[in-house]
Amino acid sequence: MSVKEIRRIMRSGGSLVVSLPREWVETRKIKPGDNIELLVTKDAIIVKTLSVEKLERTSYLKYQKDIRHLVNSVVAAYLLGCSSIVIDLPKTVKDLFDVEFSKVKNKLMGLEIVEYSNNKLILKTLTDPIELPPIDILKRMWQITRESIEESITSILEEDIQQAERVVQKDDEVDKLYFYTVRILRSCAEDPTLQTRLNLSNINLLDFRIAAYLLENINDRTLEIALTTQQGIL
């Protein structure tokens, strides 16, 4: 949990200094002479100990007689940035879960089932946001959406069912990129270290979130045109 504090800047010799919160120092067992790391962003300076590992979040879920609700909860945990999802899942419904999960798995980039034993299913996200930053994802979303706009218009004007089919096939890819973008941006909002590594300001987080939403929404409209073409021809 974040706690906001206001501290007075003091002068020591020729330097300006500010003290660290006592509780934060004691929790991390920092002593005089220890090294700390300063992450300088556009909006703030983040102080961290050198031993701090990246933020790992685990979501614990339990089957409660509704497989669809359980799968929706998995999607929600993924979007919230959880790196691991642990599910209490009886063997009697494992196959049913696999069927429902397969319907959304292609939209959840990097999420894989890594273990199932003793009625516990473990999923982990195996992708690294540093290797695929949000700006690259948005560029790819725009490229696909632009193609879908052209193909959907051509499909309805020329009654071209093949063009319509291409638009339909691209919809899942745009959804996958959109979900992954939401996941990264939410993770950045809770993990300043990740935000710094991606060189994103708070304004970037807001702008990228809006851009991703608009691109996904535009692509949905092209899908509607393509489906209209298919229904009219068939």
Q: Tell me what pLDDT residue 173 has.
A: 94
Closest CA to 65 of 84, 105, 92: 92
Query: Phi/psi at 39 (nearest 5 deg)?
Result: -105, 110
For domain 58-125, which architecture applies? 2-Layer Sandwich (3.30)
Per-residue pLDDT tens digits for 144-197: 999 999 999 999 899 899 999 999 999 999 999 999 999 999 999 888 778 888
Q: Tell me what pLDDT residue 55 has.
A: 54
Identity of the residue numbered 34: D
Distance CA 95, CA 97 (A): 5
Residue 17 has pLDDT above 60, yes or no: yes
Weakest mean pLDDT among 27-36, 82-91, 146-155, 181-190: 27-36
**Sheet containing 111-117: order of strands:** 58-62, 84-88, 120-125, 111-117
Domain coordinates of the chain in residue numbers? 10-49, 58-125, 134-233
For domain 134-233, which architecture applies? Up-down Bundle (1.20)
pLDDT interval class at 6 (50, 70, 90): confident
